[in-house]
Copies of this chain bind each other. A is one copy, B any other.
Amino acid sequence: MTGPAGSPAPRRRGRPSRTAEDSGPGARERILEAARDQFAERGYDKTSMRGIAKAAGVDAALVHHYFGTKDDVFAAAIEVSFDPTTVVPAIVSGPREAIGERLARFFIGVWENPATRAPLLAIFRSALTHEAAAKVLRGFVLRRILERVAADLDVPNPQFRAELAASHMIGIAILRYVIQVEPLASTDTEEIVAMVAPTLQRYLTEA
């Protein structure tokens, strides 16, 4: 990162330095992007607030200022990938009889895209190995997304049903993209959607 017109921003301890470079409208987004990359590449444990700040080209105090703790940055970085206001309508809107297919296709699309796969992998790896990360995933993401999907369902125990559907998609992601079991790892996505959609449809719509 270079400062505007090559002028290095003065760094002070304790307070974020308020320059155009540091706290401009793009700073929050740059921090989130850096955080996502750092968590994906280094894992939860080895990612530090200082490292995120450095990668984003800002003062560490600004990361604290915007997000608070490392857990909060992690949660915010996850929400960028799993934004409920985008994810939920993509699943629940449209004909009810095709919700299973929409969910399967949406989820596999997210995993097939390398740009979204890396942060998702980082999230699951972190959540499986660090209770702090599991708590974030549990509280901020799964609950916020699954609760909203469940609110739109007309079945008994809708939250349980939404979680069963999510469990299947998560399991497929782990076997296909992480463990890379064959033939699942190289099966055409449409073949997976065709098999899995009726399962999700039953969980989400059949009493």
A→B interface (CB under 8 Å)? 43, 124-125, 127-129, 134, 137-138, 142-143, 146, 157, 159-161, 163-164, 166-172, 174-176, 178-184, 187, 191-192, 195-196, 198-199, 202-203
> Is the Cβ of A138 less than 8 Å from the Cβ of B199?
no
Question: Knowing A124-B128, A125-B128, A199-B199 touch, does A187 contact B175 (C-beta < 8 A)?
Answer: no
> Is the Cβ of B175 less than 8 Å from the Cβ of A134?
no
Interface residue from B161, B167, B192, B202 paired with A175 (Cβ < 8 Å) = B167
A interface SS class:
helix
A172: chain B residues at CB < 8 Å are 164, 167, 171
> Is the Cβ of B170 less than 8 Å from the Cβ of A184?
no
A146: chain B residues at CB < 8 Å are 181
A170: chain B residues at CB < 8 Å are 171, 174-175
Interface residue from B125, B138, B184 paired with A179 (Cβ < 8 Å) = B138
Question: Complex: how many Å from CA A123 to CA B127?
Answer: 15
> Is the Cβ of B43 less than 8 Å from the Cβ of A129?
yes
A166: chain B residues at CB < 8 Å are 171, 175
A195: chain B residues at CB < 8 Å are 160-161, 164, 203
Give the distance to chain B from A4, nearest Cβ to Cβ, in Å. Answer: 41
Give the distance to chain B from A183, nearest Cβ to Cβ, in Å. Answer: 5
Interface residue from B187, B199, B203 paired with A160 (Cβ < 8 Å) = B187
> Is the Cβ of A181 less than 8 Å from the Cβ of B128?
no
> Is the Cβ of B171 less than 8 Å from the Cβ of A167?
yes
Question: Knowing A128-B128, A172-B171 touch, does A163 contact B184 (C-beta < 8 A)?
Answer: yes
| In the complex, residue of chain B having the shortest beta-carbon distance to the beta carbon of A176 | B167
> Is the Cβ of A202 less than 8 Å from the Cβ of B196?
no
| In the complex, residue of chain B having the shortest beta-carbon distance to the beta carbon of A139 | B181
A-B CB proximity, top 5 nearest = A171-B171, A167-B171, A170-B171, A163-B184, A167-B172
> Is the Cβ of A196 less than 8 Å from the Cβ of B164?
yes
